[in-house]
Amino acid sequence: MASKILSIELSNTTIRIVQMDYKTQNPRVYYHVVCNTPESSINDGYLINPDAVANAIRTALVSNRIKGTKNVIFTISSTKIVTREQQLPQMKPAQLDSMIQTNLSDYFPIDLDNYQVAYTVLGTIDEGKDAGKLRVSIMAAENNLVESYKQLAASCGLVLVQVDNVANSVYQVLKSENKTQCKMILKIEENSTSVLVIKNESLLLQRNIGFGFLPAIREIMHQPAFQAVSEFDARNIAMKRACIRKTLNEGTMITDNEDMPEPSEGQAMTNARQAVTDSLEDLVKGIQRVLNYYNSTNSSNPLDVCYVCGAGGSINGISHLLSNELGLKVSVLRKLENVAYSVLGDNADLYNYVASIGAIYAPVGFFSKAKSGKSKQTNFSKLIPLVVALAVVCILAMVVKGYFDYKSAQDRNEELKRTEARYLESEQIYNKYVAVLNFYKEVLIGESMTQRSSDNIADFLEELEEKMPTNMTISQFSTDDAQFTMSIEVLDRNTAIGVLETLRTFETVSGITVDQIAEKEEKLNEDQVAALLAGSADGPIQIIDQTGRNEDDDDDVDDEDDEDGDDDEVEIIEIEIATEGDEEVEGDSPLSFKRIGTYYLRLDPESGEEYYVRRFISFTVGCTYAPADEVVVQNNVEAAGEGN
């Protein structure tokens, strides 16, 4: 004979109690009762006033003569129960339990010391890359939430077997009903609605909606046409009278062909019924959003039917409204194929107890009860001597093993000490080597920090002396760490272009920029004229006379050349170089250089005085030093080595 158990569903407003068979394939329901939850005694599954709840349960059991059962399962709904769905490989139940326990911190980023965890297998993935894997729903509830129901059971004089989740209770009892059908279950309560989609014993979807039927009850109380003086009256009116229209608005297509005649009524009643229907719009729209999401993600499993359960199943006309608004056949759940009934009669209010009935099948088990009853006592007196002897043998074995382990460790320690002494000198040599190596690396780093691109300026000047023509004057030169600038004077533009092309071939230069090439004239001062007339070591200086008359021989001008108008290129006199910030250097200074140009003698038309000018091409070149490691310079040592 199957044992009996109490299964109780608790919510903020109602307590549903069922007495039925436990741990049998086709359980029978013997008694059922629903009563109001004491006001403000339960909030979101948490017991605020457990004494009041315990008193309500005891009163309901006594008044309905439900007795002879001490074991109880509570099924609750709470938004504080954290749920995660995971896809895990196929494995045995023991292995699955171990794997979940090992990876709990990955599933729930919370302090699990304050939580109790449970899980249930929702089904197997049939297609896609994850085909064959298990879909597992893992739940975590706070310790004080679960433990409070253990204390509640004790206050009721009952023994807690397990605590279940309402959604799991509904799934467990309905998964075997019409297995091949794809069915949607709507458990509608006052302030919330649970939506489940089940096919072939697999839970395809589970969602919670934060709307229920309570707005309709309040609207009935608010409308004078219904003459409801209390919430109790409003609930009876919602159950017995047609307070809800078939659709939210006239434009909705009616798909429910069942007879639900609209009652003849005045305008006031019509308006009242429309107001009550409008109060359910949030609930209907919330269900529509879940339905649309399911259809978009599960096109291979279209819905066949929809059932309503929970307290919302008692609302007259709610199934017709949902059928028309959802475009899906919706019925109130009034029969379970695998459950027998002794007291329900025509099962008119079965929808109210679906979760209570389902809790006995496979509760998630946040709390597992201890084995009840006293276990059979075994006489161990005869085994005491054997146990003592076995203990002595084990102790001796451990002592002997400990001694040999100690001796072995001692020998090993002595051997390691000898090895350490043998390699001590090598360790000191190695430490010195490491110190020298580190010092060498620091020297290399210091050397690299002192290297600059301008370090190869000597190589540049050497290359400049080797490659540049003699008829070129560097009038100014400045440099920094990365680049240098020099002003160059040449006789004509062709020479200027040749100088630039030659500079681009320098190995010591990585890039050049050129200022505008300009033709310039310079009026000579008295010292420069004296140097000009003195001539050069290579011969006399040729000067072009532009005064319009012949000069004396002292002017060193060839009359025939002047008449012909030939601009002869002249030799260069030596004058001093002036660098930025320095004064001119007189005489035979090593800084002196040759000034390139064509020299002219001219007459000032106003004063009648003669003066000399130098005409030349001038331009400024900016060059960037090539990195020192890219400049190939053959020094004397290398050259000598190659000569040998």
Residue 262, pLDDT score: 53
- Position 87 scores a pLDDT of 87
Instruction: Supply the pLDDT for residue 554.
Output: 42
Widest CA span in the chain: 154
DSSP, collapsed to helix, strand or coil, labels residue 348 as coil
Contacts 24+ apart (CB under 8 A), 604-611: 610/547, 611/523, 611/524
Is 609:529 a contact under the CB 8 Å cutoff?
Answer: no
Multiple choice CATH, 178-335, 3.40.50.1820, 3.30.70.20, 2.130.10.10, 3.30.420.40 = 3.30.420.40
pLDDT at residue 381, as a whole number: 62
Q: Which of 165, 208, 168 is nearest to 188 (CA)?
A: 208
Looking at residue 180, what is its pLDDT?
A: 85
Q: In the chain, count of helices (H) and strands (E)?
A: 18, 25
For residue 170, the model assigns a pLDDT of 92
Q: Where are the beta strands (DSSP E) in 406-455?
A: none
Q: What is the rounded distance in angstroms from the CA atom of residue 137 to the CA atom of residue 206?
A: 10
* pLDDT value, residue 265: 67
Q: Which residue has the tokens 């002192």?
A: 450
pLDDT for the residue numbered 394: 92
How many CB atoms within 10 Å of residue 72? 25
Q: Which residues in the chain land under pLDDT 50? A: 259, 344-346, 367-378, 537-538, 551-593, 633-644
Cβ proximity of 556 and 528 under 8 Å: no
Distances (CA, A) of 581 to 478, 528, 584: 11, 21, 10
Residue 334, number of CB atoms within 10 A of its CB? 15
What is residue 551's predicted lDDT score, i.e. its pLDDT? 45
How far apart (Å, rounded) are the C-alpha atoms in residues 333 and 311? Answer: 11
CA distance 620 to 476: 9
Tell me how far the alpha carbon of residue 482 is from its chain's centroid.
Answer: 46
User: Mind giving me the DSSP string for 61-84?
Assistant: HHHTT--S--EEEEEE--TTSEEE
Every domain range in the chain assigned CATH 3.30.420.40: 178-335
| pLDDT value, residue 630 | 57
159 closest CA partner among 381, 422, 371, 424 = 371
pLDDT of residue 418: 87
Phi and psi at residue 157, to the nearest 5°: 75, 30
